[in-house]
């Protein structure tokens, strides 16, 4: 029998006790899934499980099927064992949607894995994957998301749920479609992995329409307030740093200036950290108004000291004061900065002013691809774990956050209000190494 879903649209978790074999979402816990059809653990086992005993005629016959069935069971612990005391939500686990929006970044899959594994094993949650970010909510594109679906994805870049830059709040019609989509999925909570735009929409849907949403901060740009760092950033910095290492050697061979354009949108975190780590000879970031003549002077000074090659890192959002170029905008109104070609324009200025042989490398989406660093995998796992806990605790309208060494959470509104920019003193750390 299917009962109406609870918790959606902030209706609360106020249903009374329910029989062990009946759930808030119909029959979703029984029969359990099995890796071997016909040999799995069926609903006849529920009385055994309710009592906490780890024995049944079928389980004795097929240990492997039993393990898989327990793996997916809300009552099993991380090793597939039944607890002797049932969790307080036994048989009442929440149904949780997960979506990934905006530009992808390494670590998204690690978060998805943690939300699902922790949610299932500790709290008895079940999950549904919403495809293509907010677009999947509007268009009802979903996939089932069980423990086995998220096995083996910890180290995979990208997102198994796919992404888009769809804005669900762009007008009244799409907002209504998002609310309808949420209700139609029968979910009690939604975990949203996103950056400024995706979480901005999440905040709006929570604040104005009461959707029970938990946010997880993602972006290679590291520009979200409310958290010391976002996952994906460490990997992007590592990719840029190793690219700069390579550019050093070819620049030296040819006595060239290498301009390296990196991502970061309106902030210079990637440029600054990769430039410091890669020994760049000049770093330009959007927060620090660029003094192009000073760049030219620094390069000339290097050459006059017999250093015939140089590396200049420039963040894509830097305003060179030359008028720039107008490009396309996305659904959230952001210019596609790659089209503005700041690297090429800076390279041309340097070439003309110094006469040095100058080349430009635009690293582009390479910075977002591939496997996450170990640091990002750990951060993503911690964020995902905390997001599952926040769902269980009903901490909606909030975002998982790293503060110092501690994982905590902050209001979504605090995270999306203003961009986290590079502080002046951090940029000053790099300046003595210029030229
Ligand atoms: O926000 C992440 C980011 O990679 C920015 O650094 C960059 O400006 C933008 O996304 C690129 O977006 P797209 O993937 O739509 O080209």
Per the structure block, which two tokens stand in for 393? 């605790």
CB-based burial, 306-335: b 16+ in 10 Å, e otherwise: eeebbbbbbbbbbebeeeeeeeeeeebeeb
Average pLDDT for consecutive 10-residue bins of the chain (435 residues)? 35 31 30 30 32 36 38 44 38 87 98 98 97 98 98 98 97 98 97 98 98 98 98 98 98 98 97 98 96 96 96 97 77 84 97 98 98 98 98 98 98 96 98 96
In terms of phi and psi (left: phi > 0; alpha: psi -120 to 50; beta: otherwise), the region of 428 is alpha
Which CATH architecture describes the domain 233-369?
3-Layer(aba) Sandwich (3.40)
Locate the ligand 1 atom nearest the alpha carbon of residue 367 and give its number: 4
Active site amino acids = 221
Query: Residue 302's closest CA among 250, 262, 251?
Result: 251
Residue 24 is predicted with a pLDDT of 33
Using DSSP bridges, classify how beta strands 406-411 and 398-403 pair: parallel, antiparallel or unpaired: antiparallel
Query: Residue 319's closest CA among 347, 293, 288, 297?
Result: 288
The string of DSSP codes covering 260-322 is EEE--TT--HHHHHHHHHTT-SEEE-TTS---HHHHHHHHHHHHHTT---EEEEEETT---SS
Substitution site in 135, 221, 274 for ligand 1 pocket (most atoms within 8 Å of beta carbon): 221
With a CB cutoff of 8 Å and minimum separation 6, the contacts of 6 are 12, 13, 14, 15, 24, 188
DSSP state of 346: H
**Host H or E run for residue 401:** strand 398-403
Residues with beta carbon inside 6 Å of ligand 1? 103, 195, 219-221, 263-265, 316, 336-338, 368
Residue 80 is predicted with a pLDDT of 39
Under a CB-based contact definition with an 8 Å cutoff, are residues 94 and 7 in contact?
yes
Under a CB-based contact definition with an 8 Å cutoff, are residues 103 and 316 in contact?
no
291 C-alpha vs ligand 1 centroid, how far in Å?
Answer: 25
Residue 85 is predicted with a pLDDT of 33
Task: Using the structure block, give the residue that is written with the tokens 């769902």.
Answer: 391
Identify the residue whose C-alpha is closest to ligand 1 atom 16: 336
Which CATH architecture describes the domain 93-232+372-417?
3-Layer(aba) Sandwich (3.40)
Substitution site in 263, 334, 337 for ligand 1 pocket (most atoms within 8 Å of beta carbon): 263
Under a CB-based contact definition with an 8 Å cutoff, are residues 412 and 390 in contact?
no
Under a CB-based contact definition with an 8 Å cutoff, are residues 202 and 388 in contact?
no
Torsion on CA atoms 259, 260, 261, 267, rounded to nearest 10: -110
Domain with CATH 3.40.50.460 in the chain: 233-369
Domain with CATH 3.40.50.450 in the chain: 93-232+372-417
The string of DSSP codes covering 161-228 is T------TTSSHHHHHHHHHHHHHHT-SEEEEEE-HHHHHHHHHHHHHH---EEEEEB-TT--BTTSS
Identify the residue whose C-alpha is closest to ligand 1 atom 2: 103
Residue 50 is predicted with a pLDDT of 35
Query: Residue 185's closest CA among 9, 388, 30?
Result: 9
Identify the residue whose C-alpha is closest to ligand 1 atom 1: 103
d(CA 428, CA 169): 40
């Amino acid at each position: 029998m299917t009962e109406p879903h609870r918790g959606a649209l902030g209706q609360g978790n106020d249903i009374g006790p329910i029989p062990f074999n009946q759930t808030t979402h119909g029959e979703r816990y029984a029969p359990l899934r099995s890796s071997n059809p016909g040999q799995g653990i069926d609903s006849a086992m529920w009385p055994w499980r309710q009592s906490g005993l780890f024995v049944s005629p079928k389980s004795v016959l097929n240990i492997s099927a039993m393990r898989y069935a327990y793996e997916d069971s809300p009552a099993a612990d991380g090793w597939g064992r039944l607890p002797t005391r049932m969790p307080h939500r036994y048989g009442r686990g929440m149904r949780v949607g997960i979506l990934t929006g905006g530009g992808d970044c390494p670590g998204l899959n690690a978060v998805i894995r943690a939300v699902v594994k922790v949610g299932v094993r500790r709290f008895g949650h079940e999950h549904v994957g919403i495809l293509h970010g907010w677009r999947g909510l509007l268009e009802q594109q979903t996939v089932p998301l069980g423990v086995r679906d998220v096995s083996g994805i910890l180290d995979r870049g990208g997102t198994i749920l796919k992404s888009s830059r769809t804005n669900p709040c762009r007008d009244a019609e799409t907002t209504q479609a998002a609310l309808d989509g949420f209700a139609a999925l029968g979910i009690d909570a939604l975990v949203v992995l996103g950056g400024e735009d995706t979480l901005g929409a999440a905040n709006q849907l929570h604040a104005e329409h009461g959707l029970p949403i938990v946010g997880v901060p993602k972006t290679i740009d590291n520009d979200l307030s409310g958290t010391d760092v976002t996952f994906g950033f460490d990997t992007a910095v590592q990719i840029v740093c190793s690219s700069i290492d390579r550019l050093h050697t070819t620049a030296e061979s040819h006595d060239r200036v290498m301009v390296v354009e990196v991502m970061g949108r309106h902030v210079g975190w990637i440029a600054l950290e990769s430039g410091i780590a890669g020994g760049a000879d000049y770093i330009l970031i959007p927060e620090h108004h660029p003094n192009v003549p000073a760049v030219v002077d620094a390069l000339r000074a290097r050459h006059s000291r017999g250093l015939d090659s140089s590396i200049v890192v420039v963040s894509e959002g830097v305003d060179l004061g030359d008028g720039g170029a107008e490009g396309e905008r996305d659904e959230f109104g952001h210019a596609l900065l790659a089209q503005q070609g700041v690297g090429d324009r800076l390279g041309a200025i340097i070439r003309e002013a110094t006469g040095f042989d100058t080349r430009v490398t635009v690293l582009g989406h390479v910075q977002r691809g591939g496997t996450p660093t170990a640091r990002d995998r750990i951060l993503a796992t911690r964020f995902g774990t905390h997001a599952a806990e926040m769902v269980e605790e009903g901490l909606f309208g909030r975002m998982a956050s790293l503060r110092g060494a501690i994982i905590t959470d902050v209001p979504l509104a605090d995270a999306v209000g203003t961009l986290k920019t590079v502080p002046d003193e951090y940029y000053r750390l790099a300046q003595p190494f210029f030229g």
